[in-house]
Each structure stands twice: as structure tokens, then as C-alpha cells.
């Protein structure tokens, strides 16, 4: 089993759309261990709709929390305690794509962050980042947080309209691979996502480095 963890510089950067494209391209299983916010749908449902994968490849979450908030707060509201013991990676045949909640230092409890979880898993992480103004700082801070914990970095994936300089300077300063840029798709559907992912995202270096 090979695992790729998808994180982002923030909530709402496009991790789920990217993860759907990635899981579809790899014929992987997809797992969102902690879902905070169930309306109008969870990320699992979005990936089911956008990845083109059979339903059995979209694994059930370990925690389904009702409130669209930081997981530590969503868990408190639901009266749930998030525990590492329930967050072991599921064993599947073939590749597994795992999506975090929000960005790296988002708390899942009073003592645990998403980054702690990634360090515990020790699997390579793809950082999803906007192309737009502000991304340089958010991206480099996120990469520092990954490096500080010794979390392997598979690369950065940009999402949004082209911005050649932002797409150059971040991987250059961080010394990590860029997997490319997923454009904003309108309409967004499974076939357009698969085509855009194949045209714009290069996974060859990701797998060669491993
Ligand atoms: N490549 C894209 N093309 C068009 N729309 C996109 C794309 N990427 C993201 N979006 C839209 O942007 C919004 C946020 O994207 P997404 O849900 O993937 O973010 P996220 O990083 O997974 O957020 P969360 O932290 O809640 O998991 C969604 O409405 C999604 O449809
Ligand atoms: C509700 C949202 N869509 C995600 N599920 C959780 C995002 C947590 C972000 C916390 C923060 O950085 O302030
Ligand atoms: Mg998401």
C-alpha cells in the first residue's frame, strides 16, 4: 500500500477537488479521517461525485462531526473525544489518498494537531496551495511546519489561475517539487477534473523520489 496525504495552506484551498483528481488518476482509495461539517455534503460525497471511483473506494470517515468548524471545536460540540487510536491508516490494496481537515496546525483535540497526525503516519504529504496573492507566505510557513516535524513532502500542488512567479518562487525557496497547477474548472465535473488533472499535474517525480 502506498499512501499520499493531501493537506493545504488553509481550509477551502481545493484539497478535496485535488484529492478527487488524484485518487481518480491513481485508482486509489480515498479517506477523510475527520469530517467537520456535514451540510450540504461531506468531502467524502464530493470525492464520490468527482473522482469517478466506485463507491467502495471511498472509505468511511473515522469521525463525522456536525459543525463546520475546527475539528477540536466540532468534536466538543458533538460531545466526542478524537483519539489517535482511532486514526490509524486503513489497510487497503493499492494506493490510498488521505485528506486532512483545514491546514497543518488545525487542532483535532486539546493536545493533537493535523500535523501531529501526519507525523504519526509518516507518509508523504502533498501541500495544496492557492496561486493567488498571499500564497507565498502561507505555503512557506506550511512547508516549515512539515520540515520541522520530519514529515516527508511529496510536493506542492497549486490551485487556481496561473501565477508564474508564485508557482516558481515557492518550490524554489522551499527546495521541494512542484506537481503543477490545477486550474479552476467551470463547470466542475468528474470528466473535466480527470482531463485537467492529467494535463496539469505531474506525479512522475513524486513516485520517482520515493
Ligand atoms: N480546481 C477547481 N475548480 C473549480 N472549483 C474548485 C476547484 N478547487 C476547489 N474548488 C471549489 O472551491 C471550494 C473549496 O474547495 P475544497 O472543498 O476542495 O476545499 P478544501 O481545501 O478541501 O476545504 P476543507 O478544508 O473544507 O476540506 C469548493 O466549492 C470547490 O468546488
Ligand atoms: C469547516 C472546514 N470546512 C473544515 N472542515 C475545517 C477547517 C478548520 C480550520 C480551522 C482554522 O484554521 O481556523
Ligand atoms: Mg476538503
Q: Point out the residues that are catalytic.
A: 32
> Candidates 7, 17, 30: which one to mutate for ligand 1, based on the most atoms within 8 Å of Cβ?
17
Per-residue model confidence (pLDDT) at position 177:
98
Q: 85: which DSSP letter?
A: G
Q: Is the CB of residue 38 below 6 angstroms from any atom belonging to ligand 1?
A: no
Contact 55, 48 (CB under 8 A): yes
Residue whose CA lies nearest to ligand 1 atom number 1: 184
In this structure, the residue with its CA closest to atom 7 of ligand 2 is 102
The C-alpha cell of 70 is what? 475546527
How far, in Å, from the CA of 103 to the mean position of ligand 2?
A: 8
Residue nearest to atom 13 of ligand 2 (CA): 70
Instruction: Note the CATH number of domain 3-208.
Output: 3.40.50.300
Helix (H, G, I), strand (E, B) or coil at 65: strand
Residues 163, 168: Cα–Cα separation, whole Å: 9
How many angstroms is it from 102 CA to the middle of ligand 1? 11
- Specify the pLDDT at position 206: 76
Ligand in nearest proximity to the CA of 159? 1
Determine if residue 59 is labeled as part of a ligand binding site.
no
Q: How far apart are the first and last CA of the chain?
A: 13
Left if phi > 0, otherwise alpha if psi is -120 to 50, otherwise beta: which for 180?
left
Number of C-beta neighbours around residue 160 at 10 A: 18
pLDDT value, residue 96: 98
Burial 25-51 (b: 16+ CB within 10 A, else e): bbebbbbbbbbbbbeeebbbebbbebb
Q: Which ligand is nearest to the CA of 104?
A: 2
pLDDT score for 208 = 54
How much is the pLDDT for 205? Answer: 73
Q: Which of 203, 7, 205 is nearest to 95 (CA)?
A: 203
In the chain, domain spans: 3-208
Q: Is the shortest distance between the CB of 188 and ligand 1 below 6 Å?
A: yes
Q: Give the chain's residues under pLDDT 70.
A: 1, 207-210
Residue pair 174/140 in contact (Cβ under 8 Å)? The answer is yes
Amino acid at each position: 500500500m502506498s499512501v499520499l496525504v493531501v493537506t493545504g495552506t488553509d481550509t477551502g484551498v481545493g484539497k478535496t477537488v485535488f484529492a478527487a483528481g488524484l485518487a481518480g488518476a491513481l485508482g486509489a482509495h480515498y479517506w477523510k479521517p475527520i469530517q467537520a461539517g456535514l451540510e450540504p455534503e461531506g468531502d467524502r460525497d464530493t470525492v464520490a461525485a468527482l473522482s469517478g471511483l466506485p463507491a467502495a473506494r471511498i472509505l468511511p470517515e473515522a469521525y463525522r462531526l456536525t459543525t463546520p468548524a475546527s475539528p477540536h471545536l466540532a468534536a466538543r460540540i458533538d460531545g466526542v473525544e478524537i483519539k489517535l487510536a482511532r486514526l490509524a491508516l486503513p489497510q487497503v490494496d493499492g494506493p490510498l489518498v488521505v485528506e486532512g481537515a483545514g491546514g497543518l496546525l488545525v487542532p483535532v483535540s486539546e493536545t493533537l494537531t493535523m500535523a501531529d497526525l501526519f507525523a504519526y503516519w509518516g507518509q508523504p504529504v502533498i501541500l495544496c496551495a492557492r496561486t493567488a496573492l498571499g500564497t507565498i507566505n502561507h505555503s512557506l510557513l506550511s512547508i516549515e511546519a512539515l520540515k520541522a516535524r520530519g514529515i516527508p513532502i511529496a510536493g506542492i500542488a497549486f490551485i487556481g489561475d496561473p501565477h508564474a512567479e508564485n508557482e516558481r518562487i515557492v518550490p524554489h525557496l522551499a527546495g521541494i517539487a512542484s506537481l503543477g497547477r490545477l486550474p479552476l474548472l467551470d463547470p466542475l465535473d468528474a470528466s473535466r477534473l480527470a482531463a485537467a488533472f492529467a494535463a496539469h499535474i505531474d506525479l512522475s517525480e513524486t513516485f520517482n523520489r520515493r
